[in-house]
């Protein structure tokens, strides 16, 4: 399964799709990027006259690229035009270090800790275009093809 097919199988659409491109994919991990457009809905109120990307959106971006996209790749033999991935976030612990501003491009790098009994747990980090660590943590989810 190639990167465009993985993105096509994501259960999200704009304005809640936070994956522009997948750059590396293997059985043990994945990386990809996303640019937070200045026109995104969440900047209007977060914060007044000083917009930054909410932590929950950064976490969602890490989950979409680092867990869901990897999970779709790992289930590639079970996904078809009639069988779609079903996803549920089960846990996350994320530490935040620096803000992400409008129009900033980030890269998400995920390493699989394990995938068994349909539960995928990954160590995920986000870096900005200056190669600075934005946030990192562990994210787990359940993923099945149904």
Q: Is position 1 annotated as part of the catalytic site?
A: no
* Cis previous bond, 104, omega within 30: no
Annotated catalytic residue: which of 29, 35, 42, 46? 46
Identify the three-state secondary structure at position 27: coil
Q: Tell me the three state secondary structure of residue 115.
A: strand
8's enclosing H/E stretch is helix 3-8
Both tokens of 14, joined, read: 């704009």
Active site residues: 46
């Amino acid at each position: 399964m190639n990167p465009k097919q993985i993105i096509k199988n994501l259960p999200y659409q704009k304005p809640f799709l936070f994956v522009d491109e997948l750059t590396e994919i293997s059985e043990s991990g994945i990386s990809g990027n996303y640019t937070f457009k200045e026109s995104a809905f969440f900047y209007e109120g977060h914060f007044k006259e000083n917009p930054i990307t909410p932590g929950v959106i950064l976490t969602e971006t890490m989950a979409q690229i680092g867990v869901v996209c990897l999970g779709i790749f790992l289930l590639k033999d079970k996904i078809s035009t009639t069988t779609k991935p079903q996803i549920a976030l089960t846990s996350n612990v994320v530490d935040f270090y620096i803000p992400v501003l409008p129009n900033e491009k980030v890269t998400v790098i995920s390493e699989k800790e394990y995938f068994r009994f349909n539960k995928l747990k990954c160590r995920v980090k986000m870096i900005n275009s200056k190669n600075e660590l934005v946030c990192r943590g562990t994210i787990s989810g359940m993923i099945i093809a149904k």
